[in-house]
């Protein structure tokens, strides 16, 4: 369900609840999930957000524990600003708000060079390693995230329930290919969970500068709503899905950049001090195959249901058509990843 947009005036009225003088309040970023504002005040620079209801308010207890632990381990990280009553978030008329310190840096939507991916992966390895001894029971977890069998079931159900849909025949063919491929991949279910970022796309890491050497100096990971325990193969698979496909999610023909994969793998292992088991190392080969398959299934299901993902009204007649393009794009990426399995395996053997 859509929510009414937040005005700058409304956001400014929230700021004092965090014991901060409003100063200058301006919209920040595209606001695809949370409504985000930059706050410049005598107390410093902050980010104020109205949090999307897909996230339980209790995630802020997780964020608080994670950021405090990262800071103790010497990693640069945004920190929550508590309210005047000492709470980690503000509940104002049923809306959840939070404030965090604003980190300096530049984000990128796509990898500019292999060395940039290596820097991001190095910092991700340090991020994972720093949280290895975190003693915290996560209370704001989202259920079903990266539950691939559940997403495959939902796709099969959508195909069975929507036989009259205009895109049914095309989706059904793709669904059959997805299901067949899923039966051939080794399961990741038995892998141990590690505390990970949960959404390691490139624009969630800040770099020192927009160009030059600073564009290859990763400073910190941001947008910590998704931090949770999950297998490393899933986390890194999601990273490689994003980093190694320069064509993005809206193109039907994808490309998997092996040079970016190899550079980021080396960077990650340089930054990671975790004692990875043999099974965890072997699973790194299949994580990106599962993730691309999962996303293709999710987009394909919503091509028929047309109820979850947003869509580009300027380019497509309806949500179904846009999601079918996305589903085909992820399937194309999956095929590209599988085609390079031998090369990826060689890179893993060389690095591990």
Give every CB contact of residue 93 below 8 A, 6+ residues apart in sequence.
none
Q: What is the pLDDT of residue 32?
A: 60
Sequential pLDDT tens for the chain (352 residues): 457 889 999 999 999 999 999 889 999 976 567 899 999 999 999 999 999 888 899 999 999 999 999 999 999 999 999 999 999 999 999 999 999 999 999 999 999 999 999 999 999 999 999 999 999 999 988 777 889 999 999 999 999 999 999 999 999 999 999 999 999 999 999 999 999 999 999 999 999 999 999 999 999 999 999 999 999 999 999 999 999 998 878 888 899 999 999 999 999 999 999 999 999 999 999 999 999 999 999 999 999 999 878 888 999 999 999 999 999 999 999 999 999 999 999 999 998 7
pLDDT in tens, 98-124: 999 999 999 999 999 999 999 999 999
CATH topology of domain 8-101: Phosphorylase Kinase; domain 1 (3.30.200)
What are the structure tokens assigned to 38, written together? 């930059």
What integer best gives the mean pLDDT of the chain? Answer: 94
pLDDT in tens, 150-182: 999 999 999 999 999 999 999 999 999 999 999
- Containing H/E element for 64? helix 59-72
Q: How many CB atoms lie within 10 A of CB 3?
A: 10
- Containing H/E element for 263? helix 258-271
Tell me the β-bridge partners of 27. 37
DSSP letter at 218? E
Q: Which residue has the tokens 């959508």?
A: 158
pLDDT > 70: percent of the chain: 99
Q: What is the pLDDT of residue 30?
A: 64
Q: Tell me how far apart the 2 most distant CA atoms of the chain are, in Å.
A: 60
The yes or no reply on domain 114-351 and CATH 3.90.1200.10 is: yes
CA–CA separation, 225 and 4 (whole Å): 22
* Domain chopping of the chain, boundaries: 8-101, 114-351
CA–CA separation, 180 and 185 (whole Å): 9
């Amino acid at each position: 369900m859509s929510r009414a947009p937040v005005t700058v005036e409304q956001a400014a009225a929230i700021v004092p609840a965090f014991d901060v003088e409003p100063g200058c309040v301006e919209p920040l970023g595209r606001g695809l999930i949370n409504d985000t504002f930059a706050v410049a005040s005598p107390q410093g620079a902050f980010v104020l957000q109205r949090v999307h209801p897909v996230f339980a308010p209790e995630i802020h207890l997780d964020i608080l524990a994670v950021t405090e632990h990262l800071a103790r381990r010497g990693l640069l990280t945004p920190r929550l600003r508590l309210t005047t009553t000492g709470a980690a978030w503000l509940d104002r008329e049923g809306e959840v708000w939070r404030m965090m310190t604003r980190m300096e840096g530049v984000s990128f939507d796509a990898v500019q060079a292999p060395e940039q991916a290596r820097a991001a992966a190095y910092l991700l390895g340090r991020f994972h390693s720093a949280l290895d001894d975190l003693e915290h029971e996560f209370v704001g977890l989202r259920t079903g995230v990266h539950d691939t069998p559940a997403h495959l079931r939902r796709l099969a159900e959508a195909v069975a329930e929507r036989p009259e849909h205009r895109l049914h025949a095309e989706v059904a063919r793709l669904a059959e290919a997805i299901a067949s491929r899923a039966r051939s991949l080794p399961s990741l279910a038995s892998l141990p969970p590690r505390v990970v970022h949960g959404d390691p796309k490139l624009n969630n890491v800040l770099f020192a500068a927009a160009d030059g050497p600073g564009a290859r100096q990763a400073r910190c990971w941001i947008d910590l709503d998704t931090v949770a325990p999950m297998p490393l193969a899933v986390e890194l698979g999601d990273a490689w899905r994003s980093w190694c496909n320069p064509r993005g999610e809206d193109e039907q023909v994808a490309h998997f950049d092996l040079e970016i994969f190899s550079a980021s793998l080396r960077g990650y292992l340089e930054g990671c001090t975790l004692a990875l088991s043999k099974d965890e190392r072997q699973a790194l080969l299949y994580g990106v195959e599962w993730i691309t398959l999962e996303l293709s299934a999710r987009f394909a299901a919503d091509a028929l249901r047309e109820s979850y993902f947003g869509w580009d009204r300027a380019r497509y007649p309806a949500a179904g058509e846009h999601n079918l393009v996305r589903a085909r794009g992820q399937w194309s990426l999956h095929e590209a990843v599988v085609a390079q399995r031998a090369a990826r395996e060689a890179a893993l053997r060389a690095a591990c």
